Amino acid sequence: MTPFILYLIKVNFALVVLYTFYKLMFTKDTFFGLRRFMLILIYITSFVYPLFSIPGWMTMNHTGQVINDFYEKVLPEIEITYNAGVGISVNPGMSLYSWIAVSLMIVYVIGISILLIRTVLEIYKTCYDLHQSDKTIIDGTCVCIAKEKQEPYSFFKWICLYPAIHTNKEIKEILIHEQTHVRELHSADILLAQLAIIFCWFNPFAWLIRSEMRVNHEYLADRKVIQNGYDKKTYQYHLLGLKHTQLAAANLYNNFSVLPLKNRIKMLNRKRTRNIMKSKYLMFIPITALLILFSNCANMESEDKATKNEEVEVKAIPEVVKNDTLTATANDAFDVVEEMPEFPGGMEALMTFLSRNIKYPSDAQNKGVQGRVVVQFVVNTDGKIEDAHVVRSVQSELDKEALRVINSMPNWKPGKQKGEVVRVKYTVPIAFRLK
């Protein structure tokens, strides 16, 4: 499992857990400001917590990075497959799982691209319509006049409405409502939610959190209208008389007619929650701590599986670290250097060379022998391959073929440490398969 896929799983797992936690704990109270903060924190926490590493805090040195670099220098597996009646085919490590993963990644990227383009176009259209509309001053507030009949809305500092369908009193209520959205930057919340949705478009909980955020914005704005002295019952009738659209909750701007009205009216009439109940919001801290613990456990499990899948007998990495780089081992061959050796033409050329030159031994074919041979070798200071030996054996014929090909490689570009040419170790797994 690649680090990105693991990160994506963790992010979406957190969205599910934190949304469920929010619905169970906070949707009944009237702390709309705290609820807004909590919804923003859900998105931020979900994307940030996988980056916290408990082992990293404990060590606080460069050893972890050195170990990661060491494992990265294990070359991709070469798979040699013999098909009866067809002959030898070479597969440079692309399994069925890999093809499925690549296909899913393509679908994922397409989904991101479509949503990203749609979001950019919607922002452009909204800004264009607001810029092109006529402007007027109503009660000291600059208002964009809609060119056609529609419900009021706001987007960042702009407020747009169609005055002809509202009474003067309704317009004043609308302006107080929309000014709350403008003053408290509710549009920024929606854009944050939209970015999370673009990244996690396949997760319905990412969309549900945005819906909760929209409705909570309306709670805040509705409460502000009542706090400014307007009659609660009259305002509720005003809401009920609006022409509502289900698309209001899907727009990027703050629409005055966001559904569900039933919940908005219930919140207007709900008795304020006692301040002592604010303490329950502190429960978010242990929930976040558990997510971080889950993330680190998942990291360790993934690393264990990766180690088992490699099936390579890896020698211990030297413990002596000097100037953030590894010193040479006893035989003067480095495990990791600043500038790693390179096959002529790069990694792709190396894979091509190995795949074209490896032959499946006929004796192993007749006996039905297959498996993974792991070979370790040293790239010398002159680029020659030296000390090639098998660190994981399957059968003598397969071992000999793997060693033969490794020893036949042309000279490499040697590695360098602190500007000096040095000897460096490499490991390559070669899988022999029969079909």
Q: What percent of the chain has pLDDT over 90?
A: 40
Helix (H) or strand (E) holding 372: strand 371-379
Residue 284 CA from chain centroid, whole number: 22
Whether the Cβ atoms of residue 221 and residue 181 lie closer than 8 Å to each other: yes
Average pLDDT, the chain: 80
- For residues 394 and 398, what is the distance between their CA atoms, to the nearest angstrom? 7
Residue count (the chain):
435
Both tokens assigned to 40? 């923003």
Both tokens assigned to 372? 């993974």
3-class secondary-structure state, position 380 = coil
CA-wise closest residue to 373 among 321, 431, 320, 325 = 431
Q: What is the pLDDT of residues 317-369, one digit of tens each?
A: 333 333 334 444 445 788 888 888 888 988 888 888 887 888 888 888 888 88
**What pLDDT is recorded for position 60?**
41
- For residues 227 and 32, what is the distance between their CA atoms, to the nearest angstrom? 14
Among the residue ranges 65-79, 109-123, 322-336, 405-419, the one predicted with the least confidence is: 65-79
Average pLDDT over residues 168-182: 90
Cα distances (Å, whole numbers) of residue 260 to 63, 214, 264, 270: 54, 10, 7, 16
**What pLDDT is recorded for position 230?**
86
Who wins on pLDDT, 80 or 200?
200
Who wins on pLDDT, 330 or 27?
27
Q: What is the pLDDT of residues 187-199, one digit of tens each?
A: 999 999 999 999 9
**What pLDDT is recorded for position 308?**
47
Whether the Cβ atoms of residue 136 and residue 143 lie closer than 8 Å to each other: yes
Q: What are the structural domain ranges in the chain?
A: 1-52+274-310, 63-94+311-434, 96-273
Neighbours of 397 (CB within 10 A): 17
Measured over all CA atoms, what is the biggest interatomic distance in the chain, rounded to whole angstroms?
A: 95
- Please tell me what DSSP assigns to residue 86: T
Complete DSSP assignment for 127-138: HHHHHHSEEEEE
**What pLDDT is recorded for position 198?**
96
- For residues 272 and 38, what is the distance between their CA atoms, to the nearest angstrom? 18
- For residues 263 and 249, what is the distance between their CA atoms, to the nearest angstrom? 14
Residue 7 CA from chain centroid, whole number: 5
Among the residue ranges 3-17, 140-154, 177-191, 289-303, the one predicted with the least confidence is: 289-303
**What pLDDT is recorded for position 235?**
83
Helix (H) or strand (E) holding 55: helix 54-59
Q: Which residues contact 413 (CB under 8 A, 6 or more apart)?
A: 341, 342, 343, 344, 383
**What pLDDT is recorded for position 286?**
94
CA-wise closest residue to 374 among 425, 424, 301 = 425
Q: Which residues contact 266 (CB under 8 A, 6 or more apart)?
A: none
Pairing of strands 141-145, 158-161: parallel
Whether the Cβ atoms of residue 236 and residue 268 lie closer than 8 Å to each other: yes
What angle (nearest 5°) sits at the alpha carbon of residue 235, between those of residues 233 and 236?
65
Q: Which residues contact 367 (CB under 8 A, 6 or more apart)?
A: 395
Among the residue ranges 46-60, 108-122, 143-157, the one predicted with the least confidence is: 46-60
Query: Is the pLDDT reported for residue 403 higher than 80?
Result: yes
Who wins on pLDDT, 61 or 27?
27
- For residues 25 and 14, what is the distance between their CA atoms, to the nearest angstrom? 16
Enumerate the H helices of 284-383 as residue ranges.
284-310, 347-357, 362-367
Among the residue ranges 48-57, 58-67, 87-96, 102-111, the one predicted with the least confidence is: 58-67
**What pLDDT is recorded for position 326?**
44
Q: Is the dihedral of CA 242, 246, 249, 250 positive or negative?
A: negative
CB-based burial, 243-254: b 16+ in 10 Å, e otherwise: ebeeebbebbbb
Query: Is the pLDDT reported for residue 58 higher than 50?
Result: no
Q: Is the dihedral of CA 169, 250, 154, 146 positive or negative?
A: negative
- pLDDT tier at 299 (50, 70, 90 boundaries)? low
Residue 194 CA from chain centroid, whole number: 14
**What pLDDT is recorded for position 78?**
65
Q: What is the pLDDT of residues 83-141, one digit of tens each?
A: 554 445 445 555 555 678 788 899 999 999 999 999 999 999 999 999 999 999 988 88
Both tokens assigned to 419? 């500007």
Both tokens assigned to 203? 């997760």
- For residues 188 and 181, what is the distance between their CA atoms, to the nearest angstrom? 10
Best-predicted range by mean pLDDT among 16-25, 65-74, 92-101, 335-344? 16-25
**What pLDDT is recorded for position 394?**
87
Q: What percent of the chain has pLDDT over 70?
A: 77
Its pTM stands at 0.62
